[in-house]
Amino acid sequence: MLLFIGALAFFKDRFRRRRMIGLVVRRGDQSRTKIHLAYGFVSVMMLQVINSTQAWKSHKTIISIVDLTLLLYLSYWNTWYRNKVIGLTSGWERKAEEH
């Protein structure tokens, strides 16, 4: 699943660069904190799933390395994924709760 998301994000990023207008966005401290927290949360969850499963027992190390490398690319170099993370967390923060 993560491999599919990574490939999708990679190709979206490549095609976007071809038609880029030249707009530059500088992320603030809050946005970077959201990205760091998302990377930490997803990496811990991913490693827990990999380590708790009995499938591919002899290949867990390489699977973990590949998944973490892909997640690192998505979190820090792919604009599409970063925008999705910031959009989801911002939407969650703005959501009103009724009691």
The pLDDT-based confidence of 1 (bands split at 50, 70, 90) is low
Where in the chain are the domains? 30-87
Cβ neighbours, 10 Å, residue 82: 21
pTM > 0.85: no
- Taking the C-alpha atoms of residue 88 and residue 84, their distance in angstroms, rounded to an integer, is 6
Report the pLDDT value the prediction gives residue 35, as an integer from 0 to 100.
92
Counting every residue written for the chain, the total comes to 99
Residue 77 pLDDT greater than 70, yes or no: yes
Which helix (DSSP H) or strand (DSSP E) does residue 4 occupy?
Answer: helix 2-18
**Contact of 49 with 63, CB cutoff 8 Å:** no
| Integer Cα distance of 46 and 28 in angstroms | 27
